[in-house]
Amino acid sequence: MEQPEGFSDNSDRVCKLKRSLYGLKQAPRCWNRRFAMFLQKLGFRQSDADPCLFIMKTDSVKLILALYVDDGLVAATDDTALSELVQKLQVEFKITVKPVTYFLGIEIDQQSLGSVKIHQSAYTEKLLKQFGMSECRPCVTPIISSEKATDSVKFLYRSAVGALMYLMTGTRADIAYAVSVVSRSMENPTRSDVTQVKRIFRYLRGTTSVGIVYKPQLDNKSLICYSDADHSGDKTSGRSTTGVICMYSGGAISWLSQRHASVAISTTEAEVVAASEAAREVVWLKRLLSDIARYSQVPEIQVDNEPAIRLARNPEYHRRTKHILTHHFFVREVVVVSRV
């Protein structure tokens, strides 16, 4: 680090940092390590599935702390233990404590019977106003198929898609496919691309309050993952698109919609690729839930393609499938594959 302006002694000497400064590229790593070391002294354990998740369990108390840079969420089964943790954090760090109602743009509503709803209504309203769509007419679907136009148009396309991506990854799984489609034309968007983005905004205009509700009173709390694929859905490249959504406690906890890296030569191959993505996601989620809630059930993957299910149960090695098995693996001891 160079000597700051006004304090230089013209000796070409540099400053030695005794601690990481805010804004340096290594600062987040140093902060996470500093915070983790403090929590470990208190008896917390850092999750193997997510290094920003810290858990402390005793015979009668469980504390969970999730950290995102300098924002954190704390949950506890005992109010006294929670108060003691907050007091220790206030002694060590300068923190602000308040009931959780808003976190990283996500609004958290605690409902009756212990249910929790997460949504991004305020963020959605902000986006609609920012891009001049607050008075638009709502529509019932976020995307429709249309022909690509050749002429380009001036629009804050990259900013709009980026903002929609954040909304999609937070609470809006219903726009995941639409956002994945419009994000393919970031460099040179056409008039048709802009129309697709505006249609997503029109859909959001009519579904501002839509969110995800988790219900702890459900008898069946198994982890269920659904996978699907559209064979050659992208007409320009011939590639398919994978759709995966994982459900727990009555609500979605993970989802994705992404285009395949290569062209699938059959519907079965496209569905197998989607099931493979779902298997990787569900294995990680099982590890995460095992840390949080001692999850021991066998997760399920629901697939709506009979040949893909048969291939998962019996990976036959022949001319039409041997190239698939070279690149994709099935986790049979963890995942149960069944038909929707």
Class of domain 218-339: alpha beta
State pTM to two decimals.
Answer: 0.81
Taking only the tens place, the pLDDT of each residue in 206-221 is 999 999 999 887 666 7
* 181, two tokens: 């489609």
End-to-end CA distance of the chain: 59
Taking only the tens place, the pLDDT of each residue in 57-70 is 888 889 999 988 88
pLDDT class of 318 with cuts at 50, 70, 90: low
Taking only the tens place, the pLDDT of each residue in 268-314 is 888 888 888 898 899 999 999 888 877 778 888 999 888 888 877 77
Distance CA 60, CA 71 (A): 27
Task: Please report the DSSP string for 173-208 in residue order.
Answer: GGGHHHHHHHGGGSSS-BHHHHHHHHHHHHHHHH-T
- Neighbour-count burial of 121, counting CB atoms closer than 10 A to its CB (0-12 exposed, 13-18 middle, 19+ buried): middle
pLDDT at 33 over 90: no
Phi, psi of 122 (to 5 degrees): -65, -40
pLDDT at 205: 94
Rounded (5°) CA angle 219-224-226: 145
Q: In what order do the strands lie in the sheet with 45-46?
A: 45-46, 53-57, 62-68, 71-76
Where in the chain does DSSP place strands (E)? 45-46, 53-57, 62-68, 71-76, 102-103, 106-110, 116-119, 211-214, 224-230, 241-248, 251-259, 300-303, 336-339
pLDDT at 112: 80
Task: Please report the DSSP string for 274-301 in residue order.
Answer: HHHHHHHHHHHHHHHHHHHH---SPPEE
Task: Residue 298: name the closest of 248, 247, 246, 224 by CA.
Answer: 224
pLDDT class of 28 with cuts at 50, 70, 90: confident
For the chain, the average pLDDT equals 84
Phi, psi of 26 (to 5 degrees): -90, 0
Query: Mapping DSSP to helix (H, G, I), strand (E, B) and coil, where does residue 74 land?
Result: strand
pLDDT at 219: 62
pLDDT class of 234 with cuts at 50, 70, 90: confident
pLDDT at 18: 75
Distance CA 175, CA 205 (A): 13
Phi-psi region of 65 (alpha: psi -120 to 50; beta: other; left: phi over 0): beta
The domain segmentation of the chain, as residue ranges, is 1-98, 118-206, 218-339
